[in-house]
Structure 1
């Protein structure tokens, strides 16, 4: 039987092929197998951001933060920051980028995003 990880990795493969809908479908299969595995929630959120579906992305990313089995909580924080930045909600974006850096102080994309916010808000 395929694991949640296997479906998630297959989703990544589809993503790299530009098949976003197929990637999302594989992530949903992963969630059916293991609802506490955080990666597929984050990945769905990231894929929806790629499709400029920011409002749809937020609940998936918030669910990733609640997952019990997830090692990289800075990713959903960063992706929430990206979604809120796109919606020009700079306060929420800043909060999530800062949270990403608390969890992973050397995470360059969050540092760069905070710098962008500083430039926009000045």
Structure 2
């Protein structure tokens, strides 16, 4: 059973990391997430640490943190999607696909529409327009107000005209 005081302090540092990241203090956020992980490692803290690294262009470090998050909690879907996104950024589309698929079926994951949007982006880049349309429509079924998916859907439909 974890020490409640350590757990509370870890949560404080996680929230502080999120606050610092929202205010664009990435170095401060990274330090806070690392402190949270030292006190009590969570999938969320590793994932957000990876996200902060990605904002600094440290994509390999971001992927490592997401892999650590999956080790802590394989049911948490966010790191699967994030790894997919980081691989997309690196132009490694085929490698991104299984990560996005795992995010789609993860038991604990919000927002569920993101991996469908990201899969749509991959499929568009691979010239698989009908499949991309299907994924983008799924994203919009899950979240009808998701503007980014609507924009991507219009792009791919424009490619077919």
**Aligned counterparts, 1:36-115, within 5 A:** 36-115=75-154
Which one has more relative contact order, counting CA pairs under 8 Å at least 6 apart?
Answer: 1
- TM (norm. structure 1) is 0.98
1:107: how far off? 0.4
Q: Which runs of 5+ in 1 are unaligned?
A: none
CA distance in 1, matches of 2:156, 2:120: 10
Q: Which runs of 5+ in 2 are unaligned?
A: 1-39
1:95: how far off? 0.6
Match for residue 59 of structure 2? 20
Alignment pair present for 1:121 and 2:160: yes
1:117: how far off? 1.0
Match for residue 7 of structure 1? 46
Aligned length: 122
Deviations for 1:22-52, whole angstroms, at most 9, x for unmatched residues?
0000000000000000000000000000011
What is the CA RMSD across the aligned residues, in angstroms? 0.5
1:73: how far off? 1.1
